């Protein structure tokens, strides 16, 4: 499968990339790791006229403590998230989730910024960042803004990101001493390197759901029950409330509802050290 | 549309360059432009790993990388593995695949070997489970996984028999007592 022909640019800075996006508008597409975009282009479901490659901008490649947050450059590869010592200490959920994305070859290429931008509800990292109450930092020629991830997603493959904006950074609060209720990630797949049929990320009593609706979701009813002192079993039984899980060849919506409850219970038990 | 772009890629230690269409996939660059045919195309959908090569030392699926993305970088294919090994000997991973009979039809083998080299670079002291999980991106249609895993363990300097026995025992210990396990063994 060969993509439709396109022009290719590899600007050497974020500013140069932003200028190119501004100049070419909807004819241009950003390429980061290419592990969502290239498959779509090979199927000819996307045919941009210009591909702007930001995959080698070292400016976007860092993971560092910044005040009360860890700041992650959008260009950080899944593998870099997986082995980051800063994240291992400050936000251990993220390396654990990154480790389950695809396979090693996919993790050597795919980036956290690309994963968040692509907005596939079956992706793991968006639900994890959602459970972490993270922020998405967007930059355009008009300036920079930070959007809480709770307000970032608007539907399948769609976000509040404007066409001339790049995701430059993802910020997640440092866990440190605040992490009173632990963390865990449960991902249910049929084959080793598959996408989640359902995934559940738990951190500090917050619950993010993978593949339970058109966007990553929080299991709000579970969170509220936990805050009111409900048992893990009782709280987890509410995990599918206000979700709208998809039907596909892997599972029916009913089965996904069942999985969400079981995986939420397991994740909460692991997070509580049980 | 589609202005050609010049790429310079070091392949197996040698400089290569060409004017290519930006849509050219790295696997086609390697096979058709450079003429190195060891890298196979299996699924063409990032699933099977047959097209795995090393890009600056890390395993990637070359059906999902554009040649232009590898510009100014270095690629290692199966043909070049000998160069990573002292004295021009076959690479230790290649020797281990031969010794453990880690291939049947051989179609998955180039990708499997390169994925394994990358795995050991990141994980020099793997358990059996680490090897199986580390090769999750590579499919063998002949289902020759048993000997492939043994080959990788042996290339890591481990005793495949001992590692597989240990893994079988720990598997057995994880299974509920009421569950019939049959004969646990490598
Ligand atoms: C075989 C396979 C298995 C996979 N398994 C999983 C899995 O189990 N779980 C999972 O979560 N994911 C999985 N993925 C997807 C993988 O994680 C992708 O890497 C990721 O979704 C996209 O990141 P990327 O850097 O490759 O983005 P690209 O493919 O380069 O881009 C994706 C989209 O995001 C846009 N974009 C990229 N970066 C930015 C940015 N900084 N700012 C604005 N827009 C941007 C692009 O324009 C494009 O529309 C899998 C992929 C493959 C091929
Ligand atoms: S041919 Fe590239 S992964 Fe199958
Ligand atoms: S040896 Fe035949 S596909 Fe693996």
Does the distance separating the beta carbons of B58 and A108 come in below 8 Å?
yes
| pLDDT number for residue A224 | 98
d(CA A17, CA A208): 32
DSSP state for residue B66 in the 8-state scheme: B
What value does the mean pLDDT take over residues B52-73?
A: 98
d(CA A216, CA A239): 13
The domains spanning A7-53 and A183-271 adopt the same CATH topology? no
Percent of chain B with pLDDT over 90: 82
Would you call A68 helix, strand, or coil by DSSP? coil
Closest Cβ–Cβ partner in B59, B68, B69 for A105 = B59
Fold of A62-173: 3.30.465
What value does the mean pLDDT take over residues A198-209?
A: 97
What ipTM score was computed for the predicted complex, to two decimals? 0.94
B141 C-beta closer than 6 A to ligand 2: no
Q: Is A49 on the interface with B (CB under 8 A)?
A: yes
| pLDDT number for residue A31 | 98
Domain locations along chain A: 7-53, 62-173, 183-271
d(CA A187, CA A260): 10
- As assigned by CATH, the class of the A7-53 domain is alpha beta
pLDDT above 70: residue B106: yes
Poorest-confidence range of A41-45, A86-90, A192-196? A192-196
Beta carbons within 10 angstroms of residue B175's beta carbon: 11
Give the domains, in start order, of chain B with CATH numbers: 5-171 (3.10.20.30)
Residue B186: which pLDDT band, with cuts at 50, 70 and 90? very low
The alpha carbon of B139 and the centre of ligand 3 are apart by a number of angstroms equal to 8
pLDDT above 50: residue B124: yes
The alpha carbon of B137 and the centre of ligand 2 are apart by a number of angstroms equal to 9
d(CA A246, CA A167): 27
Give tens-digit pLDDT for A8-26: 999 999 999 999 999 999 9
- Take residue A29 and report the two structure tokens written for it: 């597409």
What value does the mean pLDDT take over residues A98-103?
A: 97
Give tens-digit pLDDT for A74-83: 999 999 999 9
| pLDDT number for residue A116 | 98
Q: Residue A131 phi/psi, 5° resolution?
A: -65, -30
Give tens-digit pLDDT for A107-166: 999 999 999 999 999 999 999 999 999 999 999 999 999 999 999 999 999 999 999 999
- As assigned by CATH, the class of the A183-271 domain is alpha beta
> Quick one: which atom of ligand 2 is closest to the CA of B47?
3
| pLDDT number for residue B185 | 44
Sheet architecture: strand order including B5-11:
B14-20, B5-11, B74-76, B52-55, B58-61
What value does the mean pLDDT take over residues A169-176?
A: 90
């Amino acid at each position: 499968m060969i993509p439709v022909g396109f022009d290719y640019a590899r600007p050497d800075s974020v500013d140069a990339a932003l200028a190119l996006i501004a100049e070419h508008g909807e004819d241009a597409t950003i390429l980061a790791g290419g592990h969502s975009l290239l498959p779509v282009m090979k199927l000819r479901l996307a045919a941009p006229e210009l591909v702007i490659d930001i995959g080698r901008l070292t400016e976007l490649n860092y993971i560092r403590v910044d005040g009360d947050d860890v700041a992650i450059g959008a260009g950080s590869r899944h593998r870099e998230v997986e082995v980051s010592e800063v994240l291992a200490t400050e936000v251990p959920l993220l390396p654990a989730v990154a480790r389950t994305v695809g396979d090693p070859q996919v993790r050597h290429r795919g980036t956290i910024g690309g994963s968040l931008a692509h907005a596939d509800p079956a992706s793991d990292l968006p639900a994890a960042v959602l459970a972490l109450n993270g922020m998405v930092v967007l930059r355009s020629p008009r300036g920079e803004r930070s959007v809480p991830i709770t307000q970032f997603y608007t539907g399948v493959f769609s976000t509040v990101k404007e066409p001339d904006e790049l995701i430059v950074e993802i910020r997640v609060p440092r866990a440190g001493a605040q992490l009173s209720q632990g963390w865990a990630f449960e991902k249910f797949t049929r084959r080793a390197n598959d996408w989640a049929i359902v995934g559940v990320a738990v951190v500090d009593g917050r619950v993010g759901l993978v593949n339970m609706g058109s966007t990553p979701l929080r299991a709000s009813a579970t969170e509220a029950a936990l805050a009111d002192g409900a048992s893990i079993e009782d709280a987890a039984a509410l995990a599918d409330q206000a979700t709208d899980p998809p039907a596909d060849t892997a599972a029916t919506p009913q089965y996904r509802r069942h999985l969400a409850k079981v995986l939420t219970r397991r994740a909460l038990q692991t997070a509580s050290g049980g | 549309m589609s202005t050609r772009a010049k790429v310079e890629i070091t392949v197996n230690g040698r400089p290569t360059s060409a004017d290519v269409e930006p849509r050219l996939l790295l696997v086609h660059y390697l096979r058709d432009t450079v003429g190195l045919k060891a890298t196979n195309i299996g699924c063409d959908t990032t699933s099977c790993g047959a097209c795995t090569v090393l890009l600056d030392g890390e395993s990637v699926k070359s059906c999902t990388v554009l040649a232009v993305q590898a510009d100014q970088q270095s690629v290692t294919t199966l043909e070049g593995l000998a160069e990573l090994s002292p004295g021009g000997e076959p690479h230790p991973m290649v020797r281990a695949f031969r010794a453990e009979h880690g291939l049947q039809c051989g179609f998955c083998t180039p990708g499997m070997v390169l994925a394994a080299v990358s795995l050991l670079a990141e994980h020099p002291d793997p358990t059996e489970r680490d090897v199986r999980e580390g090769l999750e991106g590579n499919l063998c249609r002949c289902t020759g996984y048993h000997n492939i895993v043994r080959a990788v363990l042996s290339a890591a300097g481990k005793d495949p028999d001992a590692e597989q026995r240990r893994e079988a025992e720990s598997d057995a210990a994880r299974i509920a007592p009421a569950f019939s396990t049959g004969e646990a063994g490598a």
